[in-house]
Structure 1
């Protein structure tokens, strides 16, 4: 090997014999970023959970109302379903 290829392109502080302070600050930064990401994921999970609970409540409330309407007016429910099917068929086919 010649002398040009044997020298390291990295600065002395980045070599194995240099100071470890740079690695500690990088490690601290990585830990802070990871903690913030973890906190953000926790907040997102809480938001999604609350939204899911609201959706389930809405589903139970309006689902019960729809069942009552179908029991009271079965012929009207079949007619509305038939018309909705025709509209969707015209839109998507």
Structure 2
């Protein structure tokens, strides 16, 4: 749980008093549910962040490989592009 969350939770607990929402049991339930929700959001953020970094790495790797192929065989790349364009043109007619 981050510092903003703990500050807001403590201020919420102070403003609710000792009875909570509808009694003392609900206060702990709300706190537990809020903590679990924040933990789930944190895990999701970490997963998305690491997946995004992986994708950027793959993009860089495959982009470099494509540049190397174009430099090594420029005529083959142009011929391949022509064939792909020709096939797409025939398919869309």
TM range (shorter): 0.5 to 0.7
1:84 positional shift:
3.0
- The equivalent residue for 2:3 is none
Structure 2 CA distance for partners of 1:35 and 1:82, relative to 1, 3 Å: farther
- The equivalent residue for 1:54 is 54
- The equivalent residue for 2:32 is 32
User: Looking at CA atoms only, which structure, 1 or 2, has the larger radius of gyration?
Assistant: 1
1:66 positional shift:
0.5
TM-score if structure 1 supplies the norm length?
A: 0.62
Q: Which runs of 5 or more residues in structure 1 are unaligned?
A: 1-18
TM-score if structure 2 supplies the norm length?
A: 0.62
1:1-93 aligned within 5 A? 22-88=22-88
Q: Which runs of 5 or more residues in structure 2 are unaligned?
A: 1-18
RMSD: 2.7
CA distance in 2 between partners of 1:90 and 1:26 (Å): 67
More helix by share: 2
- Ranked by relative contact order (alpha carbons within 8 Å, sequence separation 6 or more), the top structure is 2
Count of matched residue positions in the alignment of Structure 1 and Structure 2:
75
| Preserved CA contact (<8 Å) 2:20 2:27 | no
